[in-house]
Chain A
Protein backbone atom coordinates (compact mmCIF):
# COMPACT_ATOMS: atom_id res chain seq x y z
CA UNK A 1 0.00 0.00 0.00
CA UNK A 2 1.35 3.41 -0.94
CA UNK A 3 0.95 6.57 1.10
CA UNK A 4 -2.07 8.62 0.02
CA UNK A 5 -1.86 11.43 2.55
CA UNK A 6 1.37 12.62 4.12
CA UNK A 7 1.25 15.36 6.72
CA UNK A 8 4.75 16.43 7.69
CA UNK A 9 5.61 18.59 10.70
CA UNK A 10 2.43 20.60 10.36
CA UNK A 11 1.98 23.69 12.53
CA UNK A 12 -0.88 26.15 12.90
CA UNK A 13 -1.34 29.03 15.32
CA UNK A 14 -4.19 31.44 15.94
CA UNK A 15 -2.42 34.52 17.28
CA UNK A 16 -0.53 33.34 20.34
CA UNK A 17 -2.48 30.10 20.61
CA UNK A 18 -0.74 27.08 19.17
CA UNK A 19 -3.52 24.95 17.69
CA UNK A 20 -1.30 22.33 16.06
CA UNK A 21 2.34 21.61 16.71
CA UNK A 22 4.63 19.38 14.64
CA UNK A 23 1.94 16.99 13.49
CA UNK A 24 3.21 14.21 11.26
CA UNK A 25 0.82 11.65 9.96
CA UNK A 26 0.73 9.39 6.96
CA UNK A 27 -2.27 7.52 5.74
CA UNK A 28 -1.99 4.70 3.23
CA UNK A 29 -4.47 4.16 0.42
CA UNK A 30 -7.37 2.00 1.59
CA UNK A 31 -6.88 2.62 5.30
CA UNK A 32 -9.61 3.12 7.91
CA UNK A 33 -8.21 5.62 10.36
CA UNK A 34 -9.84 6.90 13.53
CA UNK A 35 -8.82 10.30 14.84
CA UNK A 36 -9.79 11.06 18.41
CA UNK A 37 -8.97 13.60 21.09
CA UNK A 38 -10.68 15.76 23.68
CA UNK A 39 -12.59 18.89 22.65
CA UNK A 40 -10.23 21.62 21.50
CA UNK A 41 -7.37 19.23 20.81
CA UNK A 42 -7.05 20.39 17.20
CA UNK A 43 -8.85 17.64 15.26
CA UNK A 44 -10.99 19.98 13.19
CA UNK A 45 -8.09 22.40 12.69
CA UNK A 46 -6.05 19.53 11.31
CA UNK A 47 -8.88 18.64 8.93
CA UNK A 48 -9.19 22.28 7.89
CA UNK A 49 -5.46 22.46 7.15
CA UNK A 50 -5.53 19.23 5.15
CA UNK A 51 -8.59 20.32 3.14
CA UNK A 52 -7.55 23.92 2.58
CA UNK A 53 -10.19 25.77 4.61
CA UNK A 54 -7.25 27.00 6.71
CA UNK A 55 -3.63 27.50 5.65
CA UNK A 56 -0.91 25.85 7.70
CA UNK A 57 2.05 28.02 8.66
CA UNK A 58 4.56 25.22 9.06
CA UNK A 59 5.22 21.89 7.51
CA UNK A 60 3.62 20.41 4.44
CA UNK A 61 0.70 18.33 3.26
CA UNK A 62 1.13 15.90 0.41
CA UNK A 63 -1.77 14.09 -1.22
CA UNK A 64 -1.46 11.39 -3.84
CA UNK A 65 2.21 12.22 -4.33
CA UNK A 66 1.64 15.92 -4.76
CA UNK A 67 2.24 18.87 -2.47
CA UNK A 68 -1.14 20.56 -1.84
CA UNK A 69 -0.34 23.13 0.87
CA UNK A 70 -0.81 26.14 -1.32
CA UNK A 71 -3.75 24.89 -3.37
CA UNK A 72 -7.17 26.45 -2.73
CA UNK A 73 -9.73 24.13 -1.15
CA UNK A 74 -11.66 23.43 -4.36
CA UNK A 75 -8.51 22.19 -6.15
CA UNK A 76 -7.90 19.74 -3.31
CA UNK A 77 -11.47 18.52 -3.66
CA UNK A 78 -10.87 18.01 -7.39
CA UNK A 79 -7.77 15.94 -6.56
CA UNK A 80 -9.91 13.59 -4.48
CA UNK A 81 -10.10 14.96 -0.95
CA UNK A 82 -13.58 15.33 0.49
CA UNK A 83 -14.76 16.21 3.95
CA UNK A 84 -17.94 16.71 5.89
CA UNK A 85 -18.16 19.69 8.22
CA UNK A 86 -18.54 19.16 11.94
CA UNK A 87 -21.31 21.77 12.06
CA UNK A 88 -23.41 21.04 8.96
CA UNK A 89 -23.10 23.72 6.28
CA UNK A 90 -25.84 22.91 3.75
CA UNK A 91 -26.67 25.17 0.80
CA UNK A 92 -29.82 26.55 2.37
CA UNK A 93 -31.49 27.94 -0.75
CA UNK A 94 -31.34 24.60 -2.57
CA UNK A 95 -33.23 21.34 -2.25
CA UNK A 96 -31.41 18.28 -0.93
CA UNK A 97 -31.00 16.85 -4.38
CA UNK A 98 -29.44 20.09 -5.61
CA UNK A 99 -27.13 20.04 -2.60
CA UNK A 100 -25.65 16.70 -3.63
CA UNK A 101 -25.67 17.68 -7.31
CA UNK A 102 -23.12 20.47 -6.74
CA UNK A 103 -20.09 18.20 -6.20
CA UNK A 104 -21.14 16.17 -9.24
CA UNK A 105 -21.31 19.31 -11.40
CA UNK A 106 -18.18 20.94 -10.09
CA UNK A 107 -15.85 18.16 -8.96
CA UNK A 108 -16.68 15.01 -10.88
CA UNK A 109 -17.04 16.97 -14.14
CA UNK A 110 -13.82 18.88 -13.45
CA UNK A 111 -12.04 15.50 -13.54
CA UNK A 112 -13.24 15.05 -17.07
CA UNK A 113 -16.13 12.62 -16.63
CA UNK A 114 -19.24 14.13 -18.13
CA UNK A 115 -22.54 12.51 -17.34
CA UNK A 116 -25.91 12.92 -18.97
CA UNK A 117 -28.52 14.82 -16.99
CA UNK A 118 -30.49 11.65 -16.19
CA UNK A 119 -27.37 9.88 -14.95
CA UNK A 120 -26.61 12.76 -12.58
CA UNK A 121 -30.20 12.73 -11.38
CA UNK A 122 -30.04 8.98 -10.78
CA UNK A 123 -26.74 9.28 -8.92
CA UNK A 124 -28.12 12.09 -6.70
CA UNK A 125 -31.12 9.97 -5.76
CA UNK A 126 -28.83 7.03 -5.05
CA UNK A 127 -26.67 9.12 -2.73
CA UNK A 128 -29.68 10.39 -0.79
CA UNK A 129 -31.05 6.85 -0.60
CA UNK A 130 -27.83 5.64 1.00
CA UNK A 131 -28.24 8.07 3.89
CA UNK A 132 -32.00 7.58 4.12
CA UNK A 133 -33.01 11.00 2.83
CA UNK A 134 -34.47 10.11 -0.56
CA UNK A 135 -38.04 10.81 0.59
CA UNK A 136 -37.04 14.41 1.28
CA UNK A 137 -35.12 14.97 -1.96
CA UNK A 138 -37.19 18.02 -2.94
CA UNK A 139 -37.19 19.56 0.53
CA UNK A 140 -34.94 22.37 1.72
CA UNK A 141 -32.29 21.83 4.40
CA UNK A 142 -34.34 24.06 6.71
CA UNK A 143 -36.92 21.24 6.87
CA UNK A 144 -34.32 18.82 8.23
CA UNK A 145 -33.36 17.99 11.79
CA UNK A 146 -29.74 18.42 12.88
CA UNK A 147 -29.26 14.68 12.56
CA UNK A 148 -30.57 14.63 9.00
CA UNK A 149 -28.33 17.56 8.16
CA UNK A 150 -25.33 15.48 9.26
CA UNK A 151 -26.44 12.77 6.87
CA UNK A 152 -26.81 15.32 4.07
CA UNK A 153 -23.34 16.62 4.88
CA UNK A 154 -21.96 13.10 4.47
CA UNK A 155 -23.91 12.47 1.25
CA UNK A 156 -22.54 15.67 -0.25
CA UNK A 157 -18.97 14.70 0.64
CA UNK A 158 -19.44 11.23 -0.87
CA UNK A 159 -20.93 12.80 -4.03
CA UNK A 160 -17.50 14.22 -4.89
CA UNK A 161 -16.30 10.61 -5.44
CA UNK A 162 -13.25 11.08 -3.22
CA UNK A 163 -10.12 8.99 -2.79
CA UNK A 164 -9.94 10.16 0.80
CA UNK A 165 -13.03 10.96 2.82
CA UNK A 166 -12.74 12.78 6.13
CA UNK A 167 -15.91 12.44 8.18
CA UNK A 168 -15.80 15.08 10.91
CA UNK A 169 -18.17 13.95 13.68
CA UNK A 170 -20.81 12.74 11.29
CA UNK A 171 -22.49 10.65 13.97
CA UNK A 172 -23.04 12.97 16.91
CA UNK A 173 -26.65 12.76 18.06
CA UNK A 174 -27.54 9.73 15.96
CA UNK A 175 -29.33 6.73 17.40
CA UNK A 176 -27.60 3.39 17.65
CA UNK A 177 -29.21 2.02 14.49
CA UNK A 178 -28.42 5.17 12.54
CA UNK A 179 -24.78 4.95 13.64
CA UNK A 180 -24.79 1.37 12.35
CA UNK A 181 -26.17 2.61 9.01
CA UNK A 182 -23.53 5.33 8.66
CA UNK A 183 -20.76 2.93 9.69
CA UNK A 184 -21.99 0.40 7.15
CA UNK A 185 -21.93 3.12 4.49
CA UNK A 186 -18.37 4.11 5.41
CA UNK A 187 -17.22 0.49 5.41
CA UNK A 188 -18.86 -0.04 2.03
CA UNK A 189 -17.07 3.01 0.63
CA UNK A 190 -13.82 1.74 2.10
CA UNK A 191 -14.32 -1.63 0.44
CA UNK A 192 -14.78 0.21 -2.85
CA UNK A 193 -11.31 1.67 -2.33
CA UNK A 194 -12.00 4.96 -0.55
CA UNK A 195 -9.63 5.77 2.28
CA UNK A 196 -11.58 7.01 5.30
CA UNK A 197 -10.53 9.16 8.25
CA UNK A 198 -13.20 9.11 10.94
CA UNK A 199 -13.24 11.81 13.60
CA UNK A 200 -15.63 10.81 16.32
CA UNK A 201 -16.40 11.03 20.01
CA UNK A 202 -18.53 7.91 20.09
CA UNK A 203 -15.87 5.38 21.08
CA UNK A 204 -17.84 2.27 20.20
CA UNK A 205 -18.16 3.52 16.62
CA UNK A 206 -14.50 4.50 16.42
CA UNK A 207 -13.33 1.18 17.84
CA UNK A 208 -15.50 -0.91 15.57
CA UNK A 209 -14.57 1.06 12.45
CA UNK A 210 -10.90 1.94 12.81
CA UNK A 211 -8.02 -0.29 11.86
CA UNK A 212 -5.65 2.33 13.21
CA UNK A 213 -6.13 5.06 15.79
CA UNK A 214 -4.47 8.47 16.18
CA UNK A 215 -4.88 10.58 19.30
CA UNK A 216 -4.46 14.35 19.43
CA UNK A 217 -4.18 16.23 22.70
CA UNK A 218 -3.59 20.00 22.90
CA UNK A 219 -2.43 20.21 19.31
CA UNK A 220 0.08 17.36 19.57
CA UNK A 221 -0.10 13.79 18.41
CA UNK A 222 0.39 11.56 21.45
CA UNK A 223 -0.41 8.15 20.04
CA UNK A 224 -0.66 6.35 16.70
CA UNK A 225 -1.14 2.63 16.24
CA UNK A 226 -3.45 -0.36 16.64
CA UNK A 227 -6.68 0.76 18.36
CA UNK A 228 -6.36 -1.69 21.26
CA UNK A 229 -2.74 -0.73 21.92
CA UNK A 230 -3.52 2.97 21.71
CA UNK A 231 -6.37 2.70 24.19
CA UNK A 232 -4.04 0.96 26.68
CA UNK A 233 -1.41 3.70 26.29
CA UNK A 234 -0.95 5.37 29.70
CA UNK A 235 -0.63 8.83 28.11
CA UNK A 236 -3.95 8.43 26.31
CA UNK A 237 -5.60 7.23 29.51
CA UNK A 238 -4.22 10.23 31.33
CA UNK A 239 -5.55 12.64 28.67
CA UNK A 240 -9.02 11.14 28.75
CA UNK A 241 -9.44 10.23 32.41
CA UNK A 242 -7.11 12.67 34.13
CA UNK A 243 -4.27 11.64 36.44
Chain B
Protein backbone atom coordinates (compact mmCIF):
# COMPACT_ATOMS: atom_id res chain seq x y z
CA UNK B 1 0.00 0.00 0.00
CA UNK B 2 1.17 3.51 -0.75
CA UNK B 3 1.86 5.96 2.03
CA UNK B 4 -0.98 8.37 1.37
CA UNK B 5 -3.78 5.74 1.34
CA UNK B 6 -2.24 4.25 4.50
CA UNK B 7 -2.29 7.67 6.16
CA UNK B 8 -5.90 8.22 5.12
CA UNK B 9 -7.01 4.80 6.39
CA UNK B 10 -5.31 5.48 9.72
CA UNK B 11 -7.10 8.84 9.85
CA UNK B 12 -10.46 7.16 9.25
CA UNK B 13 -9.81 4.58 11.97
CA UNK B 14 -8.72 7.38 14.29
CA UNK B 15 -11.87 9.33 13.41
CA UNK B 16 -14.01 6.30 14.27
CA UNK B 17 -12.20 5.95 17.61
CA UNK B 18 -12.82 9.62 18.32
CA UNK B 19 -16.51 9.36 17.41
CA UNK B 20 -16.88 6.22 19.54
CA UNK B 21 -15.35 8.02 22.53
CA UNK B 22 -17.76 10.92 21.92
CA UNK B 23 -20.83 8.66 22.03
CA UNK B 24 -19.74 7.25 25.39
CA UNK B 25 -20.52 10.71 26.71
CA UNK B 26 -17.87 10.65 29.41
CA UNK B 27 -14.75 12.81 29.17
CA UNK B 28 -12.83 10.33 31.30
CA UNK B 29 -12.34 8.16 28.21
CA UNK B 30 -10.55 11.06 26.54
CA UNK B 31 -8.24 11.46 29.54
CA UNK B 32 -7.39 7.75 29.53
CA UNK B 33 -7.21 7.55 25.72
CA UNK B 34 -4.82 10.49 25.58
CA UNK B 35 -2.27 8.60 27.68
CA UNK B 36 -2.60 5.47 25.56
CA UNK B 37 -2.13 7.49 22.35
CA UNK B 38 0.84 9.25 23.89
CA UNK B 39 2.41 5.85 24.41
CA UNK B 40 1.66 4.88 20.82
CA UNK B 41 3.75 7.89 19.76
CA UNK B 42 6.53 7.27 22.30
CA UNK B 43 6.93 3.58 21.56
CA UNK B 44 6.75 4.14 17.80
CA UNK B 45 9.42 6.82 18.13
CA UNK B 46 11.58 4.61 20.36
CA UNK B 47 11.28 1.79 17.85
CA UNK B 48 12.73 3.87 15.00
CA UNK B 49 16.09 3.85 16.79
CA UNK B 50 15.69 0.84 19.06
CA UNK B 51 13.86 -1.60 16.82
CA UNK B 52 14.98 -0.69 13.30
CA UNK B 53 18.54 0.24 14.18
CA UNK B 54 19.17 -1.79 17.34
CA UNK B 55 20.27 1.04 19.62
CA UNK B 56 18.50 0.92 23.00
CA UNK B 57 17.61 4.40 24.19
CA UNK B 58 16.85 4.84 27.89
CA UNK B 59 16.28 8.57 27.50
CA UNK B 60 12.66 8.59 26.31
CA UNK B 61 11.61 10.43 29.48
CA UNK B 62 14.20 13.13 28.80
CA UNK B 63 13.05 13.76 25.22
CA UNK B 64 9.42 13.76 26.36
CA UNK B 65 10.26 16.20 29.17
CA UNK B 66 12.16 18.44 26.76
CA UNK B 67 8.97 18.81 24.75
CA UNK B 68 6.93 19.51 27.86
CA UNK B 69 9.41 22.07 29.19
CA UNK B 70 9.66 23.79 25.81
CA UNK B 71 5.94 24.44 26.18
CA UNK B 72 6.40 25.75 29.72
CA UNK B 73 9.23 28.02 28.54
CA UNK B 74 7.16 29.50 25.72
CA UNK B 75 4.13 29.85 27.97
CA UNK B 76 6.17 31.70 30.59
CA UNK B 77 7.81 33.91 27.94
CA UNK B 78 4.85 34.86 25.78
CA UNK B 79 1.50 34.24 27.44
CA UNK B 80 0.23 36.89 29.81
CA UNK B 81 -2.73 37.07 32.15
CA UNK B 82 -4.57 39.30 29.71
CA UNK B 83 -3.93 37.01 26.73
CA UNK B 84 -3.45 33.44 27.97
CA UNK B 85 -2.83 30.54 25.61
CA UNK B 86 -2.02 32.68 22.57
CA UNK B 87 0.37 30.09 21.15
CA UNK B 88 -1.68 27.23 19.69
CA UNK B 89 -0.74 23.70 20.71
CA UNK B 90 0.32 22.52 17.22
CA UNK B 91 2.90 25.32 17.19
CA UNK B 92 4.08 24.31 20.66
CA UNK B 93 4.47 20.77 19.37
CA UNK B 94 6.60 21.91 16.46
CA UNK B 95 8.84 23.85 18.83
CA UNK B 96 9.05 20.95 21.31
CA UNK B 97 9.81 18.58 18.44
CA UNK B 98 12.53 20.88 17.11
CA UNK B 99 14.19 21.20 20.54
CA UNK B 100 14.15 17.43 21.06
CA UNK B 101 15.41 16.86 17.51
CA UNK B 102 18.39 19.13 18.09
CA UNK B 103 19.17 17.47 21.43
CA UNK B 104 18.73 14.05 19.79
CA UNK B 105 21.18 15.00 17.05
CA UNK B 106 23.68 16.32 19.59
CA UNK B 107 23.31 13.32 21.86
CA UNK B 108 23.64 11.03 18.87
CA UNK B 109 26.82 12.72 17.74
CA UNK B 110 28.35 12.31 21.20
CA UNK B 111 27.18 8.79 21.98
CA UNK B 112 26.55 6.83 18.80
CA UNK B 113 30.13 5.63 18.63
CA UNK B 114 29.25 3.60 21.73
CA UNK B 115 27.62 0.23 21.28
CA UNK B 116 25.22 -1.94 23.20
CA UNK B 117 24.99 -1.37 26.94
CA UNK B 118 27.34 1.63 26.78
CA UNK B 119 24.98 3.54 24.52
CA UNK B 120 22.05 2.71 26.84
CA UNK B 121 24.00 3.98 29.85
CA UNK B 122 24.93 7.17 28.01
CA UNK B 123 21.27 7.94 27.21
CA UNK B 124 20.34 7.28 30.84
CA UNK B 125 23.09 9.67 31.93
CA UNK B 126 21.78 12.32 29.53
CA UNK B 127 18.34 12.03 31.12
CA UNK B 128 19.82 12.60 34.58
CA UNK B 129 21.84 15.61 33.41
CA UNK B 130 18.81 17.23 31.75
CA UNK B 131 16.64 16.62 34.82
CA UNK B 132 19.26 18.24 37.04
CA UNK B 133 19.36 21.26 34.73
CA UNK B 134 15.58 21.67 34.81
CA UNK B 135 15.36 21.19 38.59
CA UNK B 136 17.83 24.04 38.98
CA UNK B 137 16.26 26.33 36.39
CA UNK B 138 13.94 28.69 38.23
CA UNK B 139 12.45 30.20 35.11
CA UNK B 140 10.49 27.02 34.38
CA UNK B 141 9.60 26.44 38.01
CA UNK B 142 12.67 24.52 39.15
CA UNK B 143 11.91 21.71 41.57
CA UNK B 144 8.59 23.38 42.54
CA UNK B 145 7.15 22.66 39.11
CA UNK B 146 5.09 24.84 36.80
CA UNK B 147 1.36 25.50 36.34
CA UNK B 148 -0.50 25.79 33.11
CA UNK B 149 -4.25 26.12 33.72
CA UNK B 150 -5.86 24.88 30.55
CA UNK B 151 -9.04 26.57 29.33
CA UNK B 152 -12.30 24.76 30.15
CA UNK B 153 -13.51 24.63 26.59
CA UNK B 154 -12.35 25.25 23.06
CA UNK B 155 -14.51 25.71 19.98
CA UNK B 156 -15.63 23.61 18.12
CA UNK B 157 -14.60 20.60 20.21
CA UNK B 158 -16.36 21.43 23.46
CA UNK B 159 -14.20 20.39 26.38
CA UNK B 160 -10.47 21.02 26.03
CA UNK B 161 -9.49 17.40 26.67
CA UNK B 162 -11.28 16.35 23.48
CA UNK B 163 -9.07 18.79 21.59
CA UNK B 164 -5.93 17.40 23.25
CA UNK B 165 -7.07 13.85 22.50
CA UNK B 166 -7.60 14.71 18.85
CA UNK B 167 -4.18 16.30 18.56
CA UNK B 168 -2.49 13.27 20.08
CA UNK B 169 -4.51 11.06 17.74
CA UNK B 170 -3.21 12.98 14.75
CA UNK B 171 0.35 12.76 16.04
CA UNK B 172 -0.04 9.01 16.55
CA UNK B 173 -1.27 8.61 12.95
CA UNK B 174 1.62 10.75 11.70
CA UNK B 175 4.17 8.76 13.73
CA UNK B 176 2.89 5.44 12.43
CA UNK B 177 3.00 6.73 8.86
CA UNK B 178 6.57 7.98 9.30
CA UNK B 179 7.68 4.71 10.91
CA UNK B 180 6.11 2.69 8.12
CA UNK B 181 7.65 4.93 5.47
CA UNK B 182 11.12 4.52 7.01
CA UNK B 183 10.69 0.78 7.31
CA UNK B 184 10.09 0.37 3.58
CA UNK B 185 12.62 2.90 2.37
CA UNK B 186 16.30 2.82 1.54
CA UNK B 187 16.84 4.35 5.00
CA UNK B 188 15.03 1.42 6.62
CA UNK B 189 17.24 -1.09 4.80
CA UNK B 190 20.29 0.86 5.91
CA UNK B 191 19.16 0.92 9.55
CA UNK B 192 18.53 -2.82 9.44
CA UNK B 193 22.09 -3.46 8.20
CA UNK B 194 23.37 -1.49 11.19
CA UNK B 195 21.27 -3.61 13.53
CA UNK B 196 22.55 -6.80 11.90
CA UNK B 197 26.24 -6.02 11.55
CA UNK B 198 27.76 -2.57 11.61
CA UNK B 199 31.15 -3.57 10.13
CA UNK B 200 29.52 -5.37 7.24
CA UNK B 201 27.22 -2.37 6.72
CA UNK B 202 30.18 -0.01 6.39
CA UNK B 203 31.92 -2.44 4.04
CA UNK B 204 28.79 -2.47 1.86
CA UNK B 205 28.95 1.32 1.68
CA UNK B 206 26.29 2.24 4.25
CA UNK B 207 27.16 5.54 5.96
CA UNK B 208 26.33 4.16 9.40
CA UNK B 209 26.97 7.24 11.54
CA UNK B 210 24.82 9.45 9.32
CA UNK B 211 21.91 7.00 9.30
CA UNK B 212 22.06 6.60 13.07
CA UNK B 213 22.01 10.38 13.47
CA UNK B 214 18.96 10.62 11.20
CA UNK B 215 17.20 7.92 13.26
CA UNK B 216 18.04 9.59 16.58
CA UNK B 217 16.85 12.96 15.31
CA UNK B 218 13.51 11.67 14.01
CA UNK B 219 12.98 9.55 17.11
CA UNK B 220 13.81 12.44 19.45
CA UNK B 221 11.62 14.87 17.52
CA UNK B 222 8.55 12.60 17.79
CA UNK B 223 9.12 12.10 21.52
CA UNK B 224 9.41 15.85 22.00
CA UNK B 225 6.21 16.44 20.04
CA UNK B 226 4.44 13.91 22.26
CA UNK B 227 5.65 15.82 25.32
CA UNK B 228 4.70 19.34 24.17
CA UNK B 229 0.93 19.21 24.95
CA UNK B 230 1.58 17.39 28.25
CA UNK B 231 1.59 20.51 30.51
CA UNK B 232 -1.89 21.31 29.17
CA UNK B 233 -2.99 17.78 29.95
CA UNK B 234 -1.53 17.50 33.43
CA UNK B 235 -1.97 21.14 34.53
CA UNK B 236 0.85 21.01 37.03
CA UNK B 237 4.20 19.92 35.62
CA UNK B 238 6.86 18.62 38.00
CA UNK B 239 10.38 17.63 36.95
CA UNK B 240 10.58 14.26 38.75
CA UNK B 241 7.47 12.58 37.33
CA UNK B 242 8.04 14.14 33.91
CA UNK B 243 11.61 12.85 33.63
CA UNK B 244 10.54 9.59 35.29
CA UNK B 245 11.95 6.28 34.18
CA UNK B 246 8.35 5.10 33.64
CA UNK B 247 8.37 6.62 30.17
CA UNK B 248 11.66 5.00 29.26
CA UNK B 249 10.61 1.60 30.59
CA UNK B 250 7.21 1.73 28.92
CA UNK B 251 8.65 2.93 25.61
CA UNK B 252 10.98 -0.08 25.63
CA UNK B 253 8.47 -2.60 26.97
CA UNK B 254 5.68 -1.76 24.51
CA UNK B 255 7.64 -2.37 21.29
CA UNK B 256 9.24 -5.48 22.80
CA UNK B 257 5.86 -6.91 23.71
CA UNK B 258 4.33 -5.97 20.38
CA UNK B 259 7.39 -6.77 18.24
CA UNK B 260 10.20 -4.47 17.16
CA UNK B 261 10.66 -5.29 13.50
CA UNK B 262 7.62 -3.48 12.07
CA UNK B 263 5.47 -0.41 12.79
CA UNK B 264 2.61 -2.68 13.92
CA UNK B 265 4.50 -3.98 16.96
CA UNK B 266 4.80 -0.75 18.95
CA UNK B 267 1.18 0.08 18.06
CA UNK B 268 -0.14 -3.24 19.39
CA UNK B 269 2.14 -3.11 22.43
CA UNK B 270 1.14 0.45 23.32
CA UNK B 271 -2.59 -0.14 22.82
CA UNK B 272 -2.49 -3.34 24.86
CA UNK B 273 -0.18 -2.35 27.68
CA UNK B 274 -1.34 1.27 27.77
CA UNK B 275 -5.01 0.31 28.05
CA UNK B 276 -4.26 -2.38 30.63
CA UNK B 277 -2.40 0.17 32.72
CA UNK B 278 -5.30 2.61 32.54
CA UNK B 279 -7.71 -0.13 33.61
CA UNK B 280 -5.48 -1.19 36.49
CA UNK B 281 -5.08 2.40 37.68
CA UNK B 282 -8.84 2.78 38.16
CA UNK B 283 -9.60 -0.76 39.33
CA UNK B 284 -6.64 -1.83 41.49
CA UNK B 285 -4.00 0.83 42.09
CA UNK B 286 -1.61 3.05 40.19
CA UNK B 287 1.33 1.42 41.96
CA UNK B 288 0.66 -1.98 40.39
CA UNK B 289 1.32 -0.38 37.04
CA UNK B 290 5.05 -0.89 36.71
CA UNK B 291 4.84 -4.31 38.35
CA UNK B 292 2.60 -5.36 35.49
CA UNK B 293 5.03 -3.95 32.91
CA UNK B 294 7.89 -5.82 34.55
CA UNK B 295 6.03 -9.11 34.73
CA UNK B 296 4.84 -8.90 31.12
CA UNK B 297 8.30 -7.95 29.91
CA UNK B 298 9.90 -10.94 31.60
CA UNK B 299 7.20 -13.24 30.27
CA UNK B 300 7.62 -11.98 26.70
CA UNK B 301 11.41 -12.01 26.71
CA UNK B 302 11.28 -15.68 27.74
CA UNK B 303 8.25 -16.93 25.81
CA UNK B 304 8.05 -14.69 22.74
CA UNK B 305 11.28 -12.74 22.21
CA UNK B 306 9.94 -11.36 18.91
CA UNK B 307 6.74 -10.06 20.48
CA UNK B 308 3.17 -10.55 19.43
CA UNK B 309 3.96 -9.78 15.79
CA UNK B 310 6.74 -12.36 15.91
CA UNK B 311 4.36 -14.95 17.36
CA UNK B 312 1.73 -14.28 14.71
CA UNK B 313 4.36 -14.32 11.97
CA UNK B 314 5.78 -17.61 13.20
CA UNK B 315 2.34 -19.21 13.28
CA UNK B 316 1.40 -17.92 9.81
CA UNK B 317 4.80 -18.60 8.29
CA UNK B 318 4.81 -22.18 9.56
CA UNK B 319 1.64 -22.84 7.70
CA UNK B 320 2.93 -20.87 4.76
CA UNK B 321 6.32 -22.60 4.73
CA UNK B 322 4.66 -25.94 4.75
CA UNK B 323 2.57 -24.97 1.76
CA UNK B 324 5.43 -23.39 -0.17
CA UNK B 325 7.67 -26.30 0.72
CA UNK B 326 5.26 -28.85 -0.65
CA UNK B 327 4.65 -26.83 -3.76
CA UNK B 328 8.35 -26.24 -4.29
CA UNK B 329 9.39 -29.88 -3.98
CA UNK B 330 6.60 -30.79 -6.35
CA UNK B 331 7.85 -28.31 -8.91
CA UNK B 332 11.55 -28.86 -8.59
CA UNK B 333 11.70 -32.59 -8.21
CA UNK B 334 12.54 -33.31 -11.89
CA UNK B 335 15.21 -30.61 -12.15
CA UNK B 336 18.66 -31.57 -10.85
CA UNK B 337 19.77 -29.58 -7.81
CA UNK B 338 22.53 -27.13 -8.61
CA UNK B 339 24.37 -27.24 -5.29
CA UNK B 340 24.27 -30.95 -4.56
CA UNK B 341 27.93 -31.39 -3.67
CA UNK B 342 28.29 -33.22 -0.34
CA UNK B 343 30.09 -30.43 1.54
CA UNK B 344 27.64 -27.71 0.69
CA UNK B 345 24.80 -29.80 2.03
CA UNK B 346 26.63 -30.87 5.17
CA UNK B 347 25.76 -28.91 8.28
CA UNK B 348 28.52 -26.52 9.26
Residues of A within 8 A of B (CB): 51-53, 72-75, 77-78, 82-83, 85, 89-94, 98, 101-103, 105-107, 110, 132-135, 145-148, 156-157, 159-160, 173-175, 177-178
Instruction: Quote the shortest CB–CB distance from B30 to chain A (angstroms).
Output: 39
Given contacts A94-B192, A178-B341, contact A110 B205 (CB under 8 A): yes
Tell me which of A78, A91, A106, A145 contacts B346 (CB under 8 A).
A145
B338 pairs with A132, CB closer than 8 A: yes
Which chain B positions have C-beta within 8 A of A156? 200, 204
Tell me which of A74, A89, A91 contacts B205 (CB under 8 A).
A74
Which chain B positions have C-beta within 8 A of A92? 196-197
A85 pairs with B339, CB closer than 8 A: no
Chain B: CB-nearest residue to A129: B338
Instruction: Pull 23 A–B residue pairs with CB atoms less than 8 Å apart, ordered by A.
Output: A73-B203, A74-B202, A74-B204, A74-B206, A74-B207, A75-B207, A78-B205, A82-B203, A83-B203, A91-B197, A91-B200, A93-B192, A93-B261, A94-B196, A101-B189, A103-B204, A132-B338, A135-B339, A145-B344, A147-B348, A160-B204, A173-B343, A175-B343
A174 pairs with B203, CB closer than 8 A: no
Tell me which of B195, B208, B339, B347 contacts A74 (CB under 8 A).
B208
Instruction: Quote the shortest CB–CB distance from B6 to chain A (angstroms).
Output: 20
Which chain B positions have C-beta within 8 A of A93? 192, 195-196, 261
Given contacts A74-B206, A83-B203, A93-B261, contact A175 B196 (CB under 8 A): no
Tell me which of B197, B338, B345 contacts A135 (CB under 8 A).
B338
A91 pairs with B193, CB closer than 8 A: yes
Which chain A positions have C-beta within 8 A of B344? 145, 147-148, 175, 178
Q: How far is the CA of A40 from the CA of B343 in the complex (A)?
A: 27
Query: Does B326 sit within 8 A of A, measured CB to CB?
Result: no
Given contacts A53-B199, A93-B261, A156-B204, contact A102 B193 (CB under 8 A): yes
Across chains A and B, the number of contacting residue pairs, with CB separation under 8 Å, is: 111
B202 pairs with A105, CB closer than 8 A: no
Instruction: Quote the shortest CB–CB distance from B140 to chain A (angstroms).
Output: 40
Q: How far is the CA of A85 from the CA of B203 in the complex (A)?
A: 9
Tell me which of B189, B205, B261, B341 contacts A77 (CB under 8 A).
B205
Q: How far is the CA of A83 from the CA of B346 in the complex (A)?
A: 26
Instruction: Quote the shortest CB–CB distance from A27 to chain B (angstroms).
Output: 19
Chain B: CB-nearest residue to A156: B204
A77 pairs with B203, CB closer than 8 A: yes
Q: How far is the CA of A5 from the CA of B196 in the complex (A)?
A: 30
B204 pairs with A77, CB closer than 8 A: yes
Query: Does B259 sit within 8 A of A, measured CB to CB?
Result: no
Which chain A positions have C-beta within 8 A of B205? 74, 77-78, 102-103, 106-107, 110, 160
Q: How far is the CA of A102 from the CA of B199 in the complex (A)?
A: 13
Chain A: CB-nearest residue to B261: A93
A102 pairs with B343, CB closer than 8 A: no
Query: Does B227 sit within 8 A of A, measured CB to CB?
Result: no
Which chain A positions have C-beta within 8 A of B200? 85, 89-91, 156
- Identify the interface centre among A74, A103, A133, A159: most chain B CB within 10 Å of its CB: A74
Q: How far is the CA of A39 from the CA of B330 in the complex (A)?
A: 47
Q: How far is the CA of A188 from the CA of B192 in the complex (A)?
A: 32
Which chain A positions have C-beta within 8 A of B189? 94, 98, 101-102, 105
Which chain A positions have C-beta within 8 A of B347? 145
Given contacts A91-B193, A91-B196, contact A146 B348 (CB under 8 A): yes
Apart from the given pairs A91-B200, A105-B189, A147-B343, 8 other A-B contacts in the complex at a CB distance below 8 Å:
A92-B197, A101-B189, A102-B204, A105-B190, A107-B205, A145-B344, A160-B204, A175-B341
B338 pairs with A72, CB closer than 8 A: no
Q: How far is the CA of A85 from the CA of B208 in the complex (A)?
A: 18
Chain A: CB-nearest residue to B328: A135
Instruction: Quote the shortest CB–CB distance from A69 to chain B (angstroms).
Output: 15
Which chain A positions have C-beta within 8 A of B184? none
